[in-house]
Structure 1
């Protein structure tokens, strides 16, 4: 009725029609982001080169894969990458507006948080080693560079572990008090809802982003599942939810979707959610070779 009253010109009508037909990926008001995991392959290139590529809006270093043990031991495994130059690289990424987070967990079995005390000890280690802590005894592999966030990538955790305690403690701290930037708290979950490994932490409601991994999971062997996506987006309406994809068939045992399929069949569904955040790509090594992010960036 409104269109009849306005009597738009034929040119305006055609322009409006073309805009509508362009679809949600190119004409939508909201836009997404691309997160990438870095640190699993020495030949993937440097952290700086990942940020300089212009492809990513967040880089997550992986993994801090030993913690919660007795006696207390911590290990950052970056697959042979040298920490020399990481101070400057981190600051370069931040200058470009690309936050750099550290992911805890991973595929090994050397981590757990069986008690509140172990969760608080891990917080102390993270804070003093990678963020704003000032203990002189702390070994800071990246010097005075402060990272921007913590990601939980839990493969071997149980529902009884105390990641909720860690999440609450992290949320209390502003890592850059001077300019008011808060710590980015994220999680990389399995596609099947809920993921009991991290559910207690997510249910605190304080996570900024959830990267749902629609790969390497029997429940999502064919890739993206709209029903599971709906469960994640509905359960955490105030958290940005990301579609997690492998960058090539070699990057995961199952769940690979080529860029055209992602653009045509997945993103129009995912972007209907008001809390759609973007796409998480696993990982920089495979992405660098396949240019997956480059093929989807303008659609995300």
Structure 2
């Protein structure tokens, strides 16, 4: 699979359609068109965890919201390996509604992620020696305030190879779950979802979106990305036609030195609608 697509990688430079390398279910991957010199990031797998972290023995790999055994990763591995070999950063997205009720729980989750997906060692590594480039925090927990502890612990374990951390948050400012970690400057990238949140997304004009964007660009992170649905059916609200995005929205938000690009949800809708192809030259 991967070898059939790898030859298109030299077209990368600053914008790349990483989803073209993946055959995993559509809603497991987001597309990001980046303007930073580190290439494009894409989320490939999610670690789904429920309940307090202290009660979790083995988090479950979740492809497209389906709980699959670790053995199912064998079909995905060649594709993500091909992406990484061409300079595409591959993130593991930490999703779910679990909580971190104590610093000890944060330390335990950090140890599990490090040993199974990053630079550590474990006999239970689903991808063997493959090391993800970063961890994405997509947290919806109603309790547990120790995400900053988890982020710090992961950062502390990163020495020989830089470990990137990103946060995926709704556009409502500030974020209710990752606020303290964001304030501490622990995330290299923040992906702000300007959809499914009518109070801060694009509506008749860009006023509410721009007001929220200006708030997010003040946080302690080097790059902020504009998260959008790739088609009207990809989200309940917030879709911006590509011609409106390129003519009205991008010229406004690109004035920020923290502008990092556009994130689209998700690959299936992008392939159907051709959204990334329509905007990539303007990003």
Q: TM-score, normalised by structure 1?
A: 0.75
Q: Mark the CA change 1:71 to 1:278 in structure 2 (over 3 Å): closer, same or farther.
A: closer
Measured in 2, the distance between the counterparts of 1:90 and 1:134 equals 20
Task: Look up the match of 1:207.
Answer: 187
2:113 is aligned with 1:126: yes
- Structure 1 residue ranges without an equivalent (≥5): 1-30
- Aligned residue among 223, 226, 235 for 1:240: 223
Q: Is the 1:215–1:244 contact (alpha carbons within 8 Å) kept by the matching residues of 2?
A: yes
Task: Look up the match of 1:266.
Answer: 249
Task: Look up the match of 2:63.
Answer: 78
Q: Is the 2:200–2:212 contact (alpha carbons within 8 Å) kept by the matching residues of 1?
A: no
Measured in 2, the distance between the counterparts of 1:92 and 1:189 equals 28
Q: Is the 2:27–2:266 contact (alpha carbons within 8 Å) kept by the matching residues of 1?
A: no
- Structure 2 residue ranges without an equivalent (≥5): 1-12, 33-38
Measured in 2, the distance between the counterparts of 1:84 and 1:131 equals 17
Q: Mark the CA change 1:226 to 1:32 in structure 2 (over 3 Å): closer, same or farther.
A: farther
SS in 2 for 1:83: helix
2:152 is aligned with 1:168: yes
Q: Is the 1:242–1:278 contact (alpha carbons within 8 Å) kept by the matching residues of 2?
A: yes
Task: Look up the match of 1:89.
Answer: 79
Q: Mark the CA change 1:257 to 1:71 in structure 2 (over 3 Å): closer, same or farther.
A: closer
Q: TM-score, normalised by structure 2?
A: 0.80
1:65-113 alpha-carbon deviations (Å, 9 max, x no partner): 205151534112113583113332222111111111011124xx4x111
Q: Mark the CA change 1:150 to 1:37 in structure 2 (over 3 Å): closer, same or farther.
A: farther
Measured in 2, the distance between the counterparts of 1:112 and 1:37 equals 30
Q: CA deviation at 1:231?
A: 0.6
Measured in 2, the distance between the counterparts of 1:76 and 1:169 equals 21
Task: Look up the match of 1:101.
Answer: 91
Measured in 1, the distance between the counterparts of 2:46 and 2:229 equals 17
Q: Mark the CA change 1:121 to 1:259 in structure 2 (over 3 Å): closer, same or farther.
A: same
Matching of residues 151-300 of structure 1 within 5 Å: 151-158=136-143, 160-174=144-158, 177=160, 181-222=161-202, 225-236=209-220, 238-300=221-283
Matching of residues 3-22 of structure 1 within 5 Å: none
Q: CA deviation at 1:155?
A: 2.1
Measured in 2, the distance between the counterparts of 1:84 and 1:211 equals 28
2:26 is aligned with 1:44: yes
Aligned length: 251
